[in-house]
Chain A
Amino acid sequence: MTPSDRRDGTAETVRAARAARAVEAVWRIEAARIVATLTRYVGDFGLAEDLAQEALAAALREWPRSGVPGNPGAWLTTAAKRRAIDGWRRREVAERALALVADAQRAHEAEAAEEAPGDPDAIGDDVLRLVFISCHPVLSREAQLALTLRVVGGLTTAQIARAFLLPVPTVQQRIVRAKQKLAAAEVPFELPAAAERGRRLGGVLGVLYLMFSEGHVATSGPDWMRPELAMEALRLARVVAALMPAEPEVHGLVALMAYTASRFSSRIDAEGHPVLLAEQHRASWDRALIGLGDRALERADAQWARRAAGSGAAGRGDAVSGAYTLQARIAACHASAARFADTDWRRIAEIYRELCAVAPSPVAELNRAIAVAEAEGPLVGLELVERLAGERALAAGHLLPSVRGELLARLGRDDEAAAELDRAAALATNARERAVLCEKAAAVRDRDPGASGP
């Protein structure tokens, strides 16, 4: 090998890597539309997904040589359709082929009719079907997450594996099994009936929120956050919001994610340690994402108001809200406070009260106690926290003892505080969180007896 060979080899590698990244970028943008179109074409979601993946593999082989085509989405769709036709030709079971061809013919006619002057609503509905099928209740949460990221988000198996810190074969298996399960359950490629639409949408939003949370606070491992996963969840929530603009909770979820994501860069210090809300450098909060949150929350509020007006029941101005919208309103209170001291804790405590009524949960009660402690003092907050002592949902986690420890510390009850913080540290599963709690416990032990304050 001469030096120039090696140089060419390196240039080749660089070019191939760049092309691969370009293919990935195209795929993220086009995957949902391609898989949706193919599902309509071949009438089988699992097969459509396989064909789409084959087309992606073909692009990864060909585009580094030929360059990215002018209309990459059309290229990929055509490549996949060609594979479908080849597959049918090769297939020996005539019955199946005939059935598929008949489906394809129907689909083709339907498509030709719809595509006439490009019908974005039809493709939009297909993408929405894809969202619902990926989050179908017959699948486990893990399978829903992986499938949604793959077919709606257009992430590759390797990217999904990275996002969840899993080995690639595990993710591959999860996706294969999910498709088998959908096929076995004969889940149709259609929008849920009106009667179950609300419940199914709740499931979709739950998957997206779980995806966001997984990225926002990693439940295990050394990383405090995996922001890429959370940002992907935000993007997908925006996709669903565009597809279902009349659903207030979708906008509420977008707003909640956008506000939360706006604080990402200030949640970790230069050494990678988490920074609590009170100590965050608010100036570095992402104003563009806060703006996005504001606009989404306005849309959520408008849709809730429209519903209230429509139902007539709550027509006297007091619109009922959903859990995501309420949490977004809380996040908006934080976003609009230029300093921690400016936070409107009374309003936040009030919204938490509404949240506990709409979606009762010990965690929401605990957060309400924190807000009340800020608004009315640590003693009032502590009384609310004590009432949660028997809650089984909080018993095993670090949240209750960490809040209790914090409030006891503020009240100057240092020995009790340190013991609670130790308990919280022992229960924390995230290494970074545990470190913060240990530091706090040590700080409480080290300070002068009787001194108070955080």
Chain B
Amino acid sequence: MKYMLIMRAVDQAAVEEYQQRPFEEIIAEMGAYNESMITAGVMVDGAGLSDASEGAVVDFAAEEPVVTDGPYGELRELFNGYWTLEVSSKEEAIEWARRAPLGAGSQIEVRRVTGPEDFPQDNEWIQKEQEWIAEGKARGN
């Protein structure tokens, strides 16, 4: 079964403090972590996101969606990147998450990735979406 480990910053100041280390060191730790999951044969996919200052948030709280440029004012949690793992259980996904080289201010959310078996297969839009994916239209690469 597939699980996504979602890396979030819940306390930006703490994360920044944790990252007050040589950039090389952070890269090396993250690289070793990724490699351990690749050599264990569980990592399927993963990506990191660029700084929030380059992004924007679209909020639907009001009648018209409100756009806020980064770093988003009130927003408490920042999604910073993810890994997709093919593992045998939720516990195995959690055990990999525990090993991530992160410090105070960070959280990893462990979520199962849905598959075709999770959706009604007779729904027209579900079928269409799957066809887009199959034809590569919905793929970023």
Is A286 part of the binding interface, using a Cβ–Cβ cutoff of 8 Å? Answer: yes
A235 to B96, CA, bound (A): 15
Residues of A within 8 A of B2 (CB): 288
Closest beta carbon of chain A to B98's beta carbon, Å: 8
Closest beta carbon of chain A to B51's beta carbon, Å: 27
Is B95 part of the binding interface, using a Cβ–Cβ cutoff of 8 Å? Answer: yes
A72 to B92, CA, bound (A): 13
B135 touches A338 (CB 8 A): yes
Given A24-B89, A228-B88, are A29 and B41 neighbors across the interface (CB < 8 Å)?
no
A281 touches B121 (CB 8 A): yes
Residues of A within 8 A of B127 (CB): 283
Residue of A nearest to B141 (CB): A291
A29 to B91, CA, bound (A): 11
B45 touches A291 (CB 8 A): yes
Is B50 part of the binding interface, using a Cβ–Cβ cutoff of 8 Å? Answer: no
Closest beta carbon of chain B to A19's beta carbon, Å: 9
A287 touches B139 (CB 8 A): yes
Which stretch, A195-203, A238-246, A391-399, touches the partner chain B?
Answer: A238-246
B95 touches A235 (CB 8 A): no
Q: What 0/1 readout, one digit per residue, does chain B (38-64) give for beta carbons within 8 Å of chain A?
A: 111110110000000000000000000
Q: What 0/1 readout, one digit per residue, does chain A (227-251) give for beta carbons within 8 Å of chain B?
A: 0100110111111001100000000
Is B124 part of the binding interface, using a Cβ–Cβ cutoff of 8 Å? Answer: no
Q: What 0/1 readout, one digit per residue, does chain B (130-141) give for beta carbons within 8 Å of chain A?
A: 110111000100
Residues of A within 8 A of B117 (CB): 265
A243 to B39, CA, bound (A): 8
A29 touches B134 (CB 8 A): no
Is A22 part of the binding interface, using a Cβ–Cβ cutoff of 8 Å? Answer: yes
Is A226 part of the binding interface, using a Cβ–Cβ cutoff of 8 Å? Answer: no
B44 touches A292 (CB 8 A): yes
B131 touches A236 (CB 8 A): no
Partner of B44, one of A228, A237, A288: A288
Partner of B130, one of A24, A124, A283: A283
Residues of B within 8 A of A25 (CB): 88-89, 91-92, 94-95
Closest beta carbon of chain A to B77's beta carbon, Å: 25
B133 touches A287 (CB 8 A): yes
Is A282 part of the binding interface, using a Cβ–Cβ cutoff of 8 Å? Answer: yes
Residues of A within 8 A of B121 (CB): 270, 281, 284
Among B40, B121, B127, residue most surrounded by chain A Cβ atoms (within 10 Å): B40
Residues of A within 8 A of B44 (CB): 288-289, 291-292
Residue of A nearest to B41 (CB): A238
Residues of A within 8 A of B88 (CB): 25, 28, 228, 231-232
Interface residues of B (CB under 8 A from A): 2, 38-42, 44-45, 84, 86, 88-89, 91-92, 94-96, 98, 115-117, 121, 127, 130-131, 133-135, 139
